[in-house]
Amino acid sequence: MTEAVIRKKPGMVSVQEMPVLQDGPPPGGFPPVRYARRIPTKGPGAVAIFLTAFGVFAYGMYQIGQGNKIRRTQKEEKYAARRAIIPVLQAEEDERFVKEWKKYLEEEAKIMKDVPGWKVGESVYNSGRWVPPATGEIRPDIW
């Protein structure tokens, strides 16, 4: 639609002939403008937040303590089981060592048979102190 039809003046030729239509307030006026700072009070207060955080912390520390007790008993049980089987493991290791030592002495006797005055199995060190032999595989290239 054109402006002329809207203003109900069908014969207008120029803008100057248009009646003045001023924009004004609605009847009864505009509502008051809110300019004051109004912060809504939503959510829990500081005391509630602090108490909740403290409660969560206390519960977490309780759970850590319970876990430590369980871990401690499991550790004690593991060490008790190890202490119980140490004699068996030591006996197996001693048996293995005796077999290896016999092989070693036989090999030493075979190698050193032409050396006069050589005593098989005697220490070449004269410290007078007994040193326990190594328990690993003595000569893997021979056996």
CA distances from 118 to 53, 112, 121, 137 (A): 81, 7, 9, 24
Q: What is the pTM of this model?
A: 0.46
What is the rounded distance in angstroms from the CA atom of residue 120 to the CA atom of residue 112? 8
pLDDT at 70 over 80: yes
pLDDT at 50: 98
Is 1 or 50 the better-scoring residue by pLDDT? 50
pLDDT at 112 over 80: yes
Quickly state the pLDDT bin for 23 (edges 50, 70, 90).
confident
What is the rounded distance in angstroms from the CA atom of residue 33 to the CA atom of residue 28? 15
pLDDT at 26 over 90: no
